[in-house]
């Protein structure tokens, strides 16, 4: 066998291949994957996002906001200083929320409630848990707030131990366009439709600060023609309580006090829409975490107005926080006009669902992608961030720029690589340490706005007293037992 012949043939193939690669290298893309495909295996996408891209993905931005100065109108006698697009916070739109905090802090009166909507960044109560703690440290309040019947992140949630039977039927606004019954404020509706086996749910308090008990456990459920439904639970003795699903939204308080743990069996409750349990002491600040992996924020536009207003009558939200972005990056072009347009409608829809509520938009965090074998800020982060700021301005919502607060360009790489790390190796999601810092960044900006509000409040002229006739407002869409 002529081995030298084969050796030189093989060498020639290697040389030709190398030269071919070097010749074509300049034509290869710097980024190995298309902008149209998300790179993180931990990210899923809701169907409304895909529809929006298909319908509005070719919209082009008309840049009419980045060079303007935002001059605010007086609200309740208070006016925040003008802002530019770059430094926009929109604290003016939080005046009613700040006033509620002020009354709570100075007179110890009333309570404040926040609905925190997010995606996988807030999964397992990440960020929200610490945000809740910071607020409760300053303003008081006990309890984790509203908790679903079932949850994909129950096993990873440290603020409450949450278990449930496997026979619940679940409908989510990420997967179902037309639910058999309206979604709850958590974007879900649950049914105990297994008549052969009892459906159950169990909650247990943890050692989390301000959540070491389950205060005043209250079940939220919808209307049904089924009048036979019951819940059975143990609170010293075994207690049976009947469900009366007469109205759009009904509540059943299982205990006026606090429990350490609670297991509830649902008997003959098929066809009754069940939404979840609320745990709060009715004082201070309460923050509900409504996180859904894969959520772009667009599904919130599918909320039924009447059902949401029924929730609002009971829970009385003062602020809604929207933290989205991880599932929107890298879909379509780098022009996010389509998302800006759709989310402006979503925010306005939420204001219709929850009259008088203030809205706070938390932008996408930094995310890193490999370019030329080096991890760098993804090219979609800044365009998406600016689109989020634009729809915040257009819809008169406040804005927290998480991208800049965490350090801006290249910050995710630093959060991942520093010791100890603050983010996961997917260069997208925070770990528990990073989530706590992210919560602190959000709380700090919010608190700075509140302190500025208090200073501005001192300067305002007292309004003339307005006499109002007393009136009794009856809302028959809500039933409480």
CA–CA distance, 181 with 179 (Å, rounded to integer)? 5
Answer whether residue 3 is part of any domain: no
Which CATH number do you get for residue 250?
A: 3.40.50.1110
Tell me, what's the pLDDT at 465? 53
Answer whether residue 449 is part of any domain: yes
Tell me, what's the pLDDT at 237? 86
CA–CA distance, 8 with 5 (Å, rounded to integer)? 5
Tell me, what's the pLDDT at 236? 75
Answer whether residue 19 is part of any domain: no
Query: Total domain count for the chain?
Result: 1
Can you give the pTM of this predicted structure? Answer: 0.86
Tell me, what's the pLDDT at 247? 97
Tell me, what's the pLDDT at 9? 59
Answer whether residue 12 is part of any domain: no
- 417: containing domain: 32-460
Answer whether residue 75 is part of any domain: yes
Q: Please report, to the nearest 10 degrees, the dihedral formed by the alpha carbons of residues 9, 15, 18, 24 taken in order.
A: -100
Answer whether residue 177 is part of any domain: yes
Answer whether residue 224 is part of any domain: yes
Answer whether residue 467 is part of any domain: no
Q: What is the pLDDT along the chain (481 residues), one digit of tens a residue?
A: 554 555 555 555 555 555 554 554 444 444 433 333 333 344 445 667 767 776 776 666 666 677 789 999 999 999 999 999 999 999 999 999 999 999 999 998 889 999 999 999 999 999 999 999 999 999 999 999 999 999 998 989 999 999 999 999 999 999 888 899 999 999 999 999 999 999 999 999 999 999 999 999 999 999 999 999 999 998 778 999 999 999 999 999 999 999 999 999 999 999 999 999 999 999 999 999 999 999 999 999 999 999 999 999 999 999 999 999 998 987 657 899 999 999 999 999 999 999 999 999 999 999 999 998 899 999 999 999 999 999 999 999 999 999 999 999 999 999 999 999 999 999 999 999 999 999 999 999 999 999 999 999 998 766 555 454 433 333 455 666 6
Tell me, what's the pLDDT at 68? 83
């Amino acid at each position: 066998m002529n081995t030298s012949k084969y050796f030189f043939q093989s060498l020639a193939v290697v040389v030709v291949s190398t030269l071919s690669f070097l010749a074509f290298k300049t034509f290869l893309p710097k980024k190995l994957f298309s902008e149209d495909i998300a790179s993180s295996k931990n990210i899923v996408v809701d169907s409304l996002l895909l529809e929006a891209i298909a319908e509005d993905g070719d919209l082009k931005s008309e840049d009419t906001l980045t060079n303007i100065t935002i001059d605010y109108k007086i609200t309740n006698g208070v006016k925040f200083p003008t802002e530019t697009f770059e430094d926009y916070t929109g604290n003016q739109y939080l005046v009613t929320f700040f006033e509620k905090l002020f009354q709570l802090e100075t007179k110890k009166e009333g309570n404040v409630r926040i609905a925190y909507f997010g995606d996988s960044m807030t999964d397992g109560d990440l960020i929200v848990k610490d945000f809740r703690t910071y607020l409760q440290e300053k303003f008081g309040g006990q309890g984790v707030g509203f908790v679903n019947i079932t949850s994909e992140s129950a096993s990873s949630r440290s603020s409450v131990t949450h278990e449930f039977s496997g026979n619940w039927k679940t409908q989510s606004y990420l997967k179902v366009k037309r639910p058999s019954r309206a979604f709850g404020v958590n974007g879900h509706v649950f049914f105990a439709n297994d008549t052969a086996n009892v459906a159950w749910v169990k909650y247990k308090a943890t050692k989390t600060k301000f959540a070491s008990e389950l205060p005043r456990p209250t079940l939220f459920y919808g209307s049904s023609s089924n009048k036979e439904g019951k819940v059975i639970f143990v609170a010293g003795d075994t207690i049976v309580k009947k469900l009366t699903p007469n109205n759009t939204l009904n509540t059943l308080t299982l205990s006026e006090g606090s429990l350490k743990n609670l297991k509830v069996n649902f008997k003959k409750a098929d066809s009754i829409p069940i939404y979840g349990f609320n745990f709060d002491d009715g004082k201070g600040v309460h923050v509900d975490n409504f996180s859904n992996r894969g959520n772009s924020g667009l599904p919130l536009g599918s909320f039924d107005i009447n059902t949401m207003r029924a929730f609002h009558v009971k829970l009385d939200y003062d602020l809604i926080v929207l933290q989205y972005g991880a599932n929107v990056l890298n879909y379509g072009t780098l022009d996010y006009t389509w998302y800006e347009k759709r989310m402006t409608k979503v925010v306005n829809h939420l204001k219709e669902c929850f009259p008088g509520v203030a809205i706070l938009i938390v932008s996408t965090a930094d995310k890193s992608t490999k370019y030329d074998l080096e991890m760098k800020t993804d090219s979609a982060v800044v365009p998406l961030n600016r689109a989020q700021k634009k729809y915040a301005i257009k819809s008169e919502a406040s804005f927290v720029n998480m991208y800049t607060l965490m350090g801006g360009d290249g910050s995710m790489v630093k959060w991942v690589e520093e010791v100890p790390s603050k983010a996961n190796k997917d260069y997208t999601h925070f770990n528990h340490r990073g989530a706590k810092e992210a919560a602190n960044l959000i709380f700090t900006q919010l608190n700075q706005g509140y302190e500025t509000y208090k200073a501005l409040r001192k300067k305002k002229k007292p309004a003339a007293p307005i006499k109002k006739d007393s009136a009794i407002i009856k809302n028959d869409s809500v039933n409480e037992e």
